[in-house]
Chains A and B, each alone.
Chain A
Amino acid sequence: MATVRLSNISKTYPNGAKAVHPTSFDIADGELIVLVGPSGCGKSTLLRMVAGLEDITTGELSIGERIVNTLDPAERDIAMVFQNYALYPHMTVGKNMAYGLKNRGIDKATIAAKVDTAAQMLNLTEYLDRRPSQLSGGQRQRVAMGRAIVRDPALFLFDEPLSNLDAKLRNQMRIEIRALQRRLNTTAMYVTHDQVEAMTMADRIVVLNGGQVEQIGTPSEIYRAPASTFVASFMGAPPMNLIPAHYNGNGTVAVGSLSLPIARPADHKGEVVLGIRPEDATIGGTTPFKLDLIEELGANRLLHGTIDGNAFTVNAPNDDQPLATDLTLSLPNDTLHLFHGESGVRL
């Protein structure tokens, strides 16, 4: 258990690739922070710098009271769960979990007790004598978790630990990992490119894009007030509708020939991007919507169409009623988001 502090951490690879631009944030004691972003945005790089598997180019990293920049991974009091689990193929499940403890000079009886407890927690007791190759993907994932748990580290690091599992198992393990982390109250850093995982697991989310932090906030902050068009389109499924528009400062935004009242006045005048979550739009109103395609999701359905030529999606409750192609929508003005037309920054 510890707080983690990143101050101006950046990474330039030896080949000159700038993977992470100077980044600062703190992780509170017992907090689970999720790093999320598209492929290649530097999530893994950031996590691996915290783990000590990559050198930190600039900046200062502290875990607990210690500055750990120059410490080896084994000395940082961290445990990591890898995407492909990285179990030792020649060791049994029990030995895999015990290995890190054994090397820290802990006596045999304590190790056995810890491994037993972790195995029980993860339903692995009957597999302790098996080799990883004799386990299913989900069981291997648990062993990797167990190996991290027995260490009782100051910080858990997860690099896309669920991405090799099927959808059902992924949902189940997501909940289990979250529950375990809560129970153990261990600070954790979790990398994923799956925004559902990010929303459901995180205490706070760090959204990365091109090596830069776009936004840091709780899942609901990120959802309610995305800091940029990037965050708006990345977080949320289906993503927020983004429509180029014009804002003249008088309380209405113009989308082509349409004009929409907006609750939040902003200083910026001129080209803007108007954002509306698919679930905030409702059928029946004053804005004309041309329906092209319906996607059935069971309880809900997604209506794909256009507003004044701009692609637009509505997430509507499924009432099994047939729909005409020409509909009207109501877009409540307190649910509209405005972004700068060029920089994409929230206004």
Chain B
Amino acid sequence: MKRAAFNHRLLPVALLVPQIAIIAIFFYWPAWTAIQSSFYLEDPFGFGSTFVGTDNYTRLFASSEYLKVAQFTILFTVIITVFALGAALLLAVKADKVLRGARTYRTLLMWVYAIAPPVAGFIGVMLFDQNIGPMTDLFNWLGHDYRLGLNYMDTAFAMTITSIWIQIPVNFIFFLSGLQSIPQSVKEAAMIDNASPTRRFWETTFPLLAPTAFFLLIINITYALFDTFGVIDTIVYGNPASNPMTLVYKVFVDGFRGNDIGGSSAQSVVLMLLVLGLTIFQFRMLERRIHYT
């Protein structure tokens, strides 16, 4: 291969500038501003700010409301991750049985699922609509007066189900392609070695899916923590006060609705640390094991 040679010294720098600029403008600068303003108390009307040290942080961890949201976020994340991964794995295993060899069918199915997420999100929200949503009707029929946006549990339920619903297709695609990449002969060898289909799955198929599963675990945790913003916003928009929300949504609510820039910044810093932790965990695990070939 011929090596491309830059005959101008400034060209590589020029080529890098847009990328660096984007990272700087949209990541480093806001992150730095957030860290900075988390140590200040901002006047709600924008007439200057006072340095308050770690007050914003102590206030945060003393706030029972913040702890409640944190608790909800953890539960929300665990439930979404478990159910979105579980349901997708189950669907993928079923689909894999049908799809062996049927290539065109497989590609078609993949396409449908690849387009699906935004559509699925919209449908999910519609399902729980107060006026036309079939889930609302179902609950009413079951004798429960379903109040989306008014009843804490009802709202939490809608948020969770919709968020799971959106994430399943992505997980499904990854699991399915993971399953399809397992050689048929390995599965057949296992059929000869082990009579129980369930144990066969957990002992010979699932371990080969472990890299995929681990990757998806991180993706799903990240999704539940951060990318569910849109769903939550669609559902609680208008009256966030008494409704469940995640930490990320609370940053938005406190900062832009409550005009508490200092507190909201402190919350973002906490979230940044969380992401940092998650990333370190992921790299550690990737280094350690979980791939075989």
Residues on A facing B (Cβ under 8 Å): 51-53, 72-75, 78-80, 82-84, 86-90, 99-100, 103, 131, 133, 147
Contact = CB atoms under 8 A, between A and B. Distances in A.
B191 A86 contact: no
Overall SS of chain B's interface: helix
A88 B186 contact: yes
Interface in B258-293: 292-293
A89 B293 contact: yes
A100 B193 contact: yes
Interface in B191-225: 191-196, 199, 203-204, 207-208, 210
Contacts of B110: none
A131 B292 contact: yes
Given A52-B192, A53-B188, A89-B208, 4 more contacts: A80-B189, A82-B185, A83-B185, A100-B192
Interface string B149-192: 00000000000000000000000000000000001011011111
Nearest to A75: B195
Contacts of B199: 103
A88 B292 CA distance: 10
A90 B189 contact: no
A87 to B, nearest CB: 8
A63 to B, nearest CB: 13
Q: Which 4 A-B pairs have the closest CB atoms?
A: A74-B195, A86-B185, A100-B193, A86-B189
Overall SS of chain A's interface: loop
Contacts of A74: 191-195
A102 to B, nearest CB: 9
Given A103-B194, A103-B195, A133-B293, A84 B189 contact: no
A87 B189 CA distance: 8
B293 A99 contact: no
19 contacts: A52-B191, A53-B191, A74-B191, A75-B195, A80-B188, A82-B185, A82-B188, A82-B189, A84-B183, A88-B189, A89-B186, A89-B293, A90-B210, A90-B292, A99-B193, A99-B194, A103-B194, A131-B292, A133-B293
